[in-house]
A and B are shown apart, each in its own frame.
Chain A
Amino acid sequence: MREHDRRGPTTFLRRSVVMSYIIQAENLSKSYGDFRALKGISFHINKGECFGFLGHNGAGKSTTMRMIYGLSTVNEGKLEVLGERISPLTPAHIKKIFGIVPQEDNLDPDLSVIENLEVYGGYFNISSLEARKRGKELLQFMGISDKMDVNVEKLSGGAKRRLVIARALINKPEIIILDEPTTGLDPQGRRLVWQKLRRLKEEGATMLLTTHYMEEAAQLCDRLAIMNDGLILAEGSPEQLIEEYVLPFVIEVRVPIDMLPPNINEKVEEMGGKAEYMVDSLFIFAINGKEMWDNIHKTGLAQHACYLRPTNLEDVFLKLTGKRDQP
């Protein structure tokens, strides 16, 4: 264990003894004029875990993030960071322990890659020399050390994102906050970012991230909260959520709803399945997928119009946020 702790990359993170909840929110709300962006959410984040907010654009994820890292005021409900109540704005001494990866790449286009890290380190009172040294290590870790003296405008989207993450690590943060870390990246870029984030997770980083990609949430998060319309609809580990909200298998029916065989809901239920209508399609959930699949013709559906697969987070998400009234 000790050997493990001493390994190189651990130096990117500060280790300290704090209370079990790093961030805690109770009935946290936010209004912008008449618009209620957050309608009272409660959650807590434990030390060393990766907690994710999964939701559509406008679900309230970014609002929550902005309140945590001090770009939005907290005036309704309670928000605590490291046991300190935030009211109304996260103070500088708390922001010091954060590593922020904002939704938009706000890298400094007037500066080179290494200068971005040097200047950002300066905001944390890290000397130029030290920031450059740390910066080089971080660029190495992120796999962009060959771009050190390049102007940031010349970087690809994926490299920019990795630089933003490197920048967020310059102060050895206790908690890394990532607001949609891979939005807008191509599949390669996205996987590279995931790989780096997993590495940080292995080293014990506490991470808080928002995403609207199911796969990202499933790959990275220990626990997650599904948000919709300013509320948390469900919370738990990806496995827990799948177990709790959907059956293990699903058959996607690729037939328009108005062309479905009559009484299909009843037939599915007789066979021990559960019919759900989400985003204008029928999903048949089942405990035993194979059995349902073999007998699907009894419902009046043909196998070639159906697709059997194990359920995943997306099914939970659609069930909770994208439900459609039954015909």
Chain B
Amino acid sequence: MIMAFNILKRHLIVFRRTLWSNLVLNVIEPFLYLSAMGFGLGAFVQDMGGMTYIQFIAPGMVASASMWAATFECTYASFVRLHFQKTFHAMLAGPATVADVVAGEVLFGIVKNVAFGMIILVVIGLMGQVQSAWSLLIPLFLVLPGTVFSLMALSYTGIITNIDYLNYYITLITTPMYLFAGVFFPVTTMPEWLQVLAWVNPLYHSVEVCRALVVGQVSIQLWQHAASLMFFSVVLAPVPVYFMRKRLIS
């Protein structure tokens, strides 16, 4: 595990260098969504179960922006490190194992997940959309979905051999997760079968918890969401190690 943190250190040196360009880009998008949907659509949607529309979607932006950050890191960036830069090969020539390399990537995915979630949290705070001090728990909570998103993305990255196939992951996995997670409308308005499906959508759990913490509607039920994410993490943990080993060790 020490090794994984040594690898994380490498990622953080690079992250520090690209922090500002990274930041601006990642803040603009959720900000655009918030403005367009919140003010535009919000003019027609008056009441979302006791919230204004912008209030409803703001916490979803925190959860989804962090999903995108972790996902892009563990798809495109990891793919480049694996196939083009041979960074993983260099690590393995040192005293690292494939599990260490995967753990390092996941840790960095978590860092990005938490970092961008926090930034969006600040942004929505500045827009007056944070109601409760429970929000301070959000960075800590985001470790859980960060782990799941990173493990998922890294598994797929380990399976494919061509960078173009990453588009499929974004279009067929990440985007549907984003659209059916209760970010823009409550999951309860969807057909029954989609509601059931939402339970295997990690972003749904993340959105529910973030929204509850932002508005201060904390209940024991939130543990169900946290437990689901923990369950996904445990189940998924060996998957990227398996596929990366196939890629790296002959």
A-to-B contact residues, CB < 8 Å: 32, 66, 69-73, 89, 92-93, 95-96, 98, 100, 102, 104, 106-111, 115, 119-120, 122-125, 171
Q: Which residue of B lies closest to A67 (CB)?
A: B250
Name the segment of B7-15, B47-55, B67-75, B183-191 touching the other chain: B7-15
- Cβ of A111: which chain B residues have Cβ within 8 Å of it? 10, 13-14
Residue B235 CB within 8 A of the other chain:
no
A108→B17 CA distance, assembly (Å): 14
User: Would A108 and B96 be within 8 Å (CB), given that A102-B90, A125-B2 are in contact?
Assistant: no
User: B89 to A102, Cβ gap below 8 A?
Assistant: yes
In the complex, which residue of chain B has the Cβ closest to the Cβ of A102?
B93
Q: Give the complex CA separation of A72 and B87 in angstroms.
A: 17
Instruction: Evaluate contact between B14 and A110: CB separation under 8 angstroms.
Output: yes
A61 to chain B, nearest CB (A): 15
| Contacts A73-B249, A104-B86, A106-B90 supplied; 15 other A-B pairs, CB < 8 Å | A32-B250, A70-B92, A71-B89, A92-B96, A93-B95, A102-B89, A106-B87, A106-B93, A108-B87, A108-B90, A111-B10, A119-B13, A122-B10, A123-B91, A123-B94
Tell me the bound Cα distance from A93 to B94 in angstroms. Answer: 10
Residue from B9, B90, B93, B250 in contact with A122 in the complex, judged by beta carbons closer than 8 Å = B9
Interface residue from A98, A119, A125 paired with B10 (Cβ < 8 Å): A119
Q: Is B3 close to A, CB under 8 A? A: yes
List, in ascending order, chain A residues with CB within 8 A of B93's CB.
69-71, 95, 98, 100, 102, 106
Would you call B13 and A125 a contact (CB within 8 A)?
no
- Knowing A102-B89, A106-B86, A108-B10, say if A92 contacts B95 (CB, 8 Å): yes
**Interface 0/1 of B64-102, CB less than 8 Å to A:** 000000000000000000000111011111111100000
Q: Cβ of B6 and Cβ of A125 under 8 Å apart?
A: yes
Please name all residues of chain B whose beta carbon is closer than 8 Å to the beta carbon of A123 when the two chains form the complex. Answer: 3, 6-7, 91, 94-96
**Binary contact readout B234-249 vs A (1 if CB under 8 angstroms, 0 otherwise):** 0000000000000011
Instruction: Tell which of B7, B14, B90, B248 has the most Cβ of chain A within 10 Å.
Output: B90
Write out the residue numbers on chain A whose beta carbons fall within 8 Å of the beta carbon of B95. 92-93, 95-96, 123-124
Known A71-B89, A104-B86, A120-B90; contact A89-B9, beta-carbon cutoff 8 A: no
- Closest approach, in angstroms, between the C-beta of B147 and any C-beta of chain A? 23
Residues of chain B within 8 A of A119, CB atoms compared: 9-10, 13
A-B CB contact pairs (8 Å), 7 listed: A95-B95, A106-B87, A106-B89, A106-B90, A108-B87, A108-B90, A123-B96
Q: Once bound together, how far apart are the Cα atoms of A89 and B249, in whole Å?
A: 9
Bound Cα distance from A102 to B86, whole angstroms: 11
Q: Which residue of A lies closest to B8 (CB)?
A: A122
Query: How many Å lie between the Cα of A17 and that of B38 in the bound state?
Result: 71
Q: What residues on B are CB-neighbors of A73 within 8 Å?
A: 249-250
